[in-house]
Amino acid sequence: MAVKIRLKRMGKKFAPFYRVVVLDSRKKRDGRVIEEVGLYDPMQEPSLIRIDSERVQYWLGVGAQPSDTVFNLLKITGDYQKFKGLPGAEGRLKVKDAEAAAAAKEAAVKAVSDDAEKRKAAAAKAKADAEKEAADAAAAEAKAAEGSSEEPAPEAPAEEA
State pLDDT tens for residues 49-104.
Answer: 999 999 999 999 999 999 999 999 999 998 888 888 888 777 677 666 666 677 78
Selection from 131, 129, 151, 149 nearest residue 139 by Cα: 131
CA distances from 139 to 53, 98, 130, 142 (A): 81, 61, 14, 5
Q: Is 160 a domain residue?
A: no
Amino acid 153: pLDDT: 57
pLDDT band, very low/low/confident/very high, at 144 (cuts 50, 70, 90): confident
| Of the residues 41, 61, 84, the one at which a domain ends | 84
State pLDDT tens for residues 28-45.
Answer: 878 889 999 999 999 988
Amino acid 67: pLDDT: 94
| Of the residues 45, 61, 84, the one at which a domain ends | 84
Same domain, 21 and 73: yes
Same domain, 75 and 24: yes
